[in-house]
Structure 1
Amino acid sequence: MSPARLRLPPPVWVLMFGSTCWGLTWIWLKHIETLGVGPVLLSTIAYGAQFLLCLPWVWPQFRRWRHRPDERPIALHWLLLLALLSGVSGIGFTVAMVYGDVIRSILLFFLLPAWGVLMGHVFLREALSLQRIVTLTLALIGAFTLLAPDLTLGFKPADLAALGAGLALAAANVLFRYLQNEPMVVKLSVMQLGGAVFGLLIWLLLPESLDRLTLNGLAQSALYGVTLLLAAMIATQYAVERLPAGRSSVLMTLELVVASGTALWIGHEHPSLWVWLGGGLIVAAALIEANTHSIGAAPGDGHA
């Protein structure tokens, strides 16, 4: 192993750091909303600022592909799909965190194991074992338990945003596995551009009120994008490529723990019994799916 390789940070600690960052995002997001910036505009600015910050590292790659199309490894339609999925996921997550109950929204977003099982089976031909059927069943029962008290009143917009964001992220993860040999910096920039462009389109179609908009809010939206959000994205991608999928799945549940714990402590949220029951089923599904990956993954298989 080369000295340069030895200097790389341990992926376990990096993933724990990234999951903690994701779990803390809601605090800054809700604060920025009080400064007059709605979640769609907030996301657009955050992802746009990220893209501009990373552009000097990405542009040379795109320039080389422009002059040498034969070396272009990713088909344009896959790039567009990845951008769309990332945009839906990023905007939906922000809307859910700003307008929804943090614990409820993060649990609905964390239906990733269920969506991952379904999409992996349909699109990647992954085996649908008994453990994975149990995972899917538990996760869906957990979601129903969370939403059951409100079914007669209809879904809350934040619930739909959280569900849609989790579904889009699961699809993006499947696409990531399909494109696992492509440059990470390119895929990251596509995610950022997708978040910015999709957010701008949504904001133009469904404009948010600008009555309370402040310069401080705009500045903090950009700062959030290039610090906490960017750190969470890079740390997660760095780690999941270097860890067995099962181990990374377990460690990523730290996001749920951090978000729920801080919402109880700082946000003074008081989840109902239905939330605790549904959340427990969803966490159990995540851990079972992680164990399924651990059993079936070859040593060194690090893609989530």
Structure 2
Amino acid sequence: MIPGPATLYPDAVTTTHRSQSGARMSLSQTQPDNSTRASMVLVTGGALWGLYWIPVRFFYDQGLTGPWSGIAMYCAALIALIPFVWPDRRMLARQWRDLMLSGMFTGAAFSLYSISLVYTDVVRSILLFYLTPIWGTILGVVFLKERLSVMRLMGLICGLGGLFVVLGGAGFVPWPQNLGDWLALASGICWALGTLGLYKAGSMTISGQVFAFVIGALLLSLVSLLMLGGQTLPNITSEESIRIAGYALLSAFYVLPMIYMTIWPATKLSPAKVGLLLMSEVVVGIASAAALSGEPFGLREFLGATLIVSAAVLEILRK
């Protein structure tokens, strides 16, 4: 048998193999790992959520009042999703229970948040949604028998303090002042409940989870048409309908990447890190609302935002 290169020059081959392995290790060390990449994607996704009020208000100005702006965007997003979820249709049919659990609550949070942006100030919608540490603490203590530690108690106090400041009017009474406030509060509660469904549906594909998310948002928006009085079909012409449909299809290029950039990182990062990085929505949302919408942002809003963000940070540090 003719000896091969490994037999003739064993030291040279070993040296070459080691050098190639070292080069591969050096190259892999210079590339960002999944955690770093997922963190960057999540911060970007949170920033997009902070600007989500802009397309919602745009469709409202086009004549789509109440839930109709969300319905238009969700329908367009579903159409754009079909090519991505079609290969997984059998798996989605088998996991329909987890699909319903995750989609109904997270989609409801998405829908209620969208509607609240029409009925109240952008800053109030964002801050009231991010009271989720309060609801997470209550759910954990009541249903999961978690211990109310000092850290959780501090987070609860900060969250309630932020609620007190944000909702405090002339009489400084922490009570929702309009329908949008109530919807924003409800959206945060639904999101806290929906995270359990997302956790249980961890084996589902990312496209399947996005599909459940959008389906839940669309169904809740359709139900809200019955719950909210005076939400008839928009009074728009056929020409305006065609133009709005075109805008809705364009919005899918914004809505779907935003949802993907929220759900995919959540499969790579710990819940604590996800909660911290999503705070980019608060920063971008408040800054853009103050700069573009002309809504007031004074000392009371700043103090409320600081307390609510502190509640989220304390919850993250606890975990």
Residue 221 of structure 2 is aligned to residue 199 of structure 1: yes
Contact 1:43–1:221 under 8 Å retained in 2:
no
Q: How far apart, in 2, do the equivalents of 1:144 and 1:42 lie? A: 30
CA gap 1:182/1:155 in 2 versus in 1, 3 angstroms: same
CA gap 1:83/1:237 in 2 versus in 1, 3 angstroms: closer
Q: Residues 54-65 of structure 1: matches in 2 within 5 Å?
A: 54-63=81-90
Q: Residues 256-295 of structure 1: matches in 2 within 5 Å?
A: 256-293=282-319
Q: How far apart, in 1, do the equivalents of 2:175 and 2:268 lie? A: 44
Residue 234 of structure 2 is aligned to residue 210 of structure 1: yes
Residue 82 of structure 2 is aligned to residue 82 of structure 1: no
1:219 counterpart residue number: 246
Contact 1:26–1:102 under 8 Å retained in 2:
yes
Q: How far apart, in 1, do the equivalents of 2:110 and 2:88 lie? A: 25
Q: CA RMSD in A?
A: 2.8
- 1:26-85, Cα deviation, whole Å (9 max, x unpaired): 12211221111124112122122222222233233233565xxxxx3x362x43333321
- 1:214-273, Cα deviation, whole Å (9 max, x unpaired): 32334323422x122211110011112212332222211110000001111112222243
Q: How far apart, in 2, do the equivalents of 1:178 and 1:191 lie? A: 14
256-265 or 171-180: bigger deviation: 171-180
* SS state at 1:180 partner: coil
Residue 273 of structure 2 is aligned to residue 253 of structure 1: no
Equivalent in 143, 146, 149 of residue 169 of structure 2: 149
Identity level (%): 27
Amino acid of the structure 2 residue aligned with 1:170: A
* TM-score, scaled to structure 1: 0.83
1:69 counterpart residue number: none
Equivalent in 212, 222, 232 of residue 190 of structure 1: 212
Amino acid of the structure 2 residue aligned with 1:99: Y
Number of residue pairs the alignment of both structures matches: 284
Q: Which runs of 5+ in 2 are unaligned?
A: 1-24
1:241 counterpart residue number: 267
Q: Residues 45-60 of structure 1: matches in 2 within 5 Å?
A: 45-60=72-87
1:228 counterpart residue number: 254
Q: How far apart, in 2, do the equivalents of 1:63 and 1:185 lie? A: 13
11-20 or 214-223: bigger deviation: 214-223
1:159 counterpart residue number: 181
Amino acid of the structure 2 residue aligned with 1:283: V
122-131 or 173-182: bigger deviation: 122-131
Contact 1:131–1:288 under 8 Å retained in 2:
yes
Deviation at 1:107, TM superposition (A): 0.6
Contact 2:56–2:114 under 8 Å retained in 1:
yes
Amino acid of the structure 2 residue aligned with 1:23: G
1:10 counterpart residue number: 37
CA gap 1:10/1:64 in 2 versus in 1, 3 angstroms: closer
Contact 2:62–2:244 under 8 Å retained in 1:
yes
- 1:72-114, Cα deviation, whole Å (9 max, x unpaired): 3x362x4333332133212211112222111122111111222
* TM-score, scaled to structure 2: 0.79
Equivalent in 186, 197, 204 of residue 175 of structure 1: 197
Q: Which runs of 5+ in 1 are unaligned?
A: 67-71, 294-304
Deviation at 1:276, TM superposition (A): 2.2
Q: Residues 17-166 of structure 1: matches in 2 within 5 Å?
A: 17-63=44-90, 72=94, 74=95, 76=97, 78-149=98-169, 151=173, 155-166=177-188
Contact 2:102–2:196 under 8 Å retained in 1:
no
CA gap 1:55/1:127 in 2 versus in 1, 3 angstroms: farther
